[in-house]
Structure formats: structure tokens, C-alpha cells
Amino acid sequence: MNRRLKLITLVTAGICSLTLMAEVNPPVSPAVPAPVLTYKDVEDIIANNCLFCHSGVDAFGEVALDTESDLVSQAKKIYVAIDTGFMPFGDPDWRNTADGQTLLQYVKAQIPAEPTPAPVIVP
């Protein structure tokens, strides 16, 4: 009888331990990848928030955003300006809005990856 009681105690302790571990360390759900954005997704955002100053040959700061290629060619500069709150001018919190986050996500995806430097081989 004593062996049986020990076995029941061990099994019960094991089940309790597993239950506590599950509560302390809940299962991690896989991250949902962000949707891939296209220029069409940000075109209205740019029209409503950027083109007033950044359009045509007289674009402020010589940053024209009239076309997709304009936006892509200056992606890094645009990302930094929005992410730091510098743009849109006078609204440093705009980057935290849904439009700001969408534009940041799109522009970040357009920044070319930095080349990996070749390893230095020392003789």
C-alpha cells in the first residue's frame, strides 16, 4: 500500500507541476506576418498628408513625392523624417496614427538592404 501511495503522490505532483508550468509559460502563438503593402495602399495617405508641400519642381526640401518612383528613391530619407516625428511638419505624433504606421511600413520595405561587407582575411 505504501508503494501505491508514493506512486499516486508522484503522479499528482507531476500533473501539478505541468499545470503550473503551463500557467507560467503559456504557449507562444506564431507571429502573424505583416501584410505586404503596395503603392496603392499608401497613395491616398501621401496625397492627404504630404503632397501639399512635397509636390512639383518647388517641392519643400527638394523632396517631391508625386510618383511611386519618387517615394521609393527617397525611402530612407522619408522613413527617418516620419519615424523621428520631423514630418509631417508640426505633428510629431502623426507617426503613431494608423496612416503613419502604414506609410512607415511601406517606406521601410522600400529601403534597399545594406550590402554585407566582405570578410577581411588577414594573412
At 75-100, the pLDDT tens digits run 999 999 999 999 998 899 999 999 99
Q: How far is CA 90 from CA 21, 58, 71, in A?
A: 50, 20, 21
At 6-34, the pLDDT tens digits run 555 555 555 555 554 555 566 666 777 76
At 29-59, the pLDDT tens digits run 677 776 789 999 999 999 999 999 999 999 9
- What pLDDT does residue 50 have? 94
Other CB atoms within a 10 A radius of the CB of residue 26 amount to 8
Per domain, the residue ranges of the chain are 39-110
Reply yes or no: is the peptide bond before residue 119 cis, omega within 30 of 0: no
- What pLDDT does residue 119 have? 80
- What pLDDT does residue 113 have? 83
